[in-house]
Amino acid sequence: MNIQRFKYHVLENFNRIIRHRNVQTLADLSWGRILTGKDLVNQCVIREAHRLQIYDRNIIDLTTNFIWNDLSPSRRNHFNGIANNANNINRNRMLRINSIDNTDSLNRIAQITYQQITSSYLEQNFYNGTNFNDNNSFESSILPSGFQ
């Protein structure tokens, strides 16, 4: 299928192709980036292209631009509104994550003074930290800081 046929196929079948996902699902899928209404149209065009076994990114992008430019302002506003709702969910999620105060937990961890009892050298270094002043270890013989 060439690009012209694909563009007009998507345009003619746009109401069938466009499937609104739940805004929460969109927010989950877009975690870490800002969505636009055009991104939502692009997702629908990608889904239809893959259904028709079209994987050329250039064709998909050109079709997305063609469809987006053909939409009425009210339809564009509709898609932008859905994208903004998903972005607001992610912004509120980030505010909740960043507002957690774990200072007390970190202070309690820092106050642990007793050494963990382990059965191997690797566990000893992992739980209790590496001792760089140990002249009998392999690290002391190869590292410059190991020379006294």
Q: What is the mean pLDDT of each run of 10 residues along the chain (148 residues)?
A: 78 72 78 88 89 90 91 91 90 79 81 79 77 62 56
Question: Would you say the pTM of this structure is higher than 0.75?
Answer: no
CA distance 49 to 90: 28
The pLDDT score that the predictor gives to residue 74 is 92
CA distances from 91 to 32, 72, 84, 98, 123 (A): 9, 28, 10, 10, 40
- Residue 145 is inside which H or E element, if any? none
The pLDDT score that the predictor gives to residue 61 is 93
The pLDDT score that the predictor gives to residue 136 is 64
**Phi, psi dihedral angles at 101 (to 5 degrees):** -105, 105
Query: What three-state secondary structure class fits 90?
Result: helix
Q: Report whether 33 contacts 90 (CB < 8 A).
A: no
The pLDDT score that the predictor gives to residue 146 is 47
The pLDDT score that the predictor gives to residue 38 is 93
CA distances from 96 to 91, 116, 145 (A): 9, 34, 44
